[in-house]
Chains A and B, each alone.
Chain A
């Protein structure tokens, strides 16, 4: 089945460590996104990529890094510089046809906890 796969579902990180969250899509979408969600809040955009080998910072990019070497993959690294990384992370992708509303698809998310 086509969709977006995020892994791992749950991840624990020690302070000072970098961790990488995986996001893979087989929908042939050009654009991919990473969002962060804190308890009781909406989603905030971390990074986005419209094409391979190109990406831009979103609203809360500090302490995060990404790469887009393949169309299907958009991994997010949470670095030690991110002061409060405990959150729920959602990856998404979209097609270029915007006449239909249902053109952005989300993965099932990854829970990151700093211990």
Chain B
């Protein structure tokens, strides 16, 4: 079964607007972590934001925030004030299991974001 689902293959947004990238997940483990990565055309994976399953507040990192709705099993990424440099692939990923130090991640299929002037 798909553990991470990203239903938006592509998204378009105008510069300076906000955009939400959807991510739903499936796990029976009470302890898990959710990640968002950005992958520009050069290929490297750039870490954006992390949310732990026990974190009480939604994670924020600069212009990135994670809308974590545990009951719905969703972890949407919100990018505020989009910039042209935000155009890239975005991946949602999940780590199952407790804090063992072993970060095995399961990735979604990604959403391609295009920011227009």
Asked whether B101 lies within 8 Å of A31 as measured between CB atoms, the reply is: yes
* Interface of A toward B, CB cutoff 8 Å: 30-31, 33, 35, 40-45, 48, 50, 58, 88, 90, 92, 94-109, 111
On chain A, the residues within 8 Å of B100 by CB distance are 98
Contact with A along B80-108 (1 / 0, CB 8 A): 00000000000101010001111111111
Given A98-B100, A101-B52, A104-B103, also A42-B33 (CB < 8 A): no
On chain B, the residues within 8 Å of A104 by CB distance are 35, 47, 103, 105
- Give the tally of cross-chain contacts (CB within 8 A): 77
* Interface of B toward A, CB cutoff 8 Å: 4, 9, 33, 35, 37, 42-45, 47, 49-52, 59, 91, 93, 95, 99-110
- Please tell me which one of the listed residues B37, B43, B52, B101 contacts residue A30 in the complex, with CB atoms under 8 A apart: B101
Given A42-B4, A102-B47, A109-B44, also A95-B109 (CB < 8 A): no
29 contacts between A and B (CB under 8 A): A31-B103, A33-B104, A35-B107, A40-B109, A41-B110, A42-B91, A42-B107, A42-B110, A43-B45, A43-B91, A45-B104, A45-B106, A48-B102, A48-B104, A50-B102, A90-B43, A98-B95, A100-B50, A101-B49, A101-B50, A101-B59, A103-B103, A104-B105, A105-B47, A107-B44, A108-B43, A108-B44, A109-B43, A111-B43
Asked whether B43 lies within 8 Å of A98 as measured between CB atoms, the reply is: no
Asked whether A101 lies within 8 Å of B102 as measured between CB atoms, the reply is: no
Max chain B CB contacts within 10 Å: which of A30, A33, A103? Answer: A103
Cα–Cα distance between A111 and B43 once the two chains are bound (Å): 9
Cα–Cα distance between A53 and B69 once the two chains are bound (Å): 40
Q: How far is the CB of B94 from chain A (nearest CB, A)?
A: 11
Asked whether B45 lies within 8 Å of A97 as measured between CB atoms, the reply is: no
Cα–Cα distance between A106 and B35 once the two chains are bound (Å): 13
Cα–Cα distance between A72 and B104 once the two chains are bound (Å): 19
Asked whether A41 lies within 8 Å of B109 as measured between CB atoms, the reply is: yes
On chain A, the residues within 8 Å of B101 by CB distance are 30-31, 50, 94-98
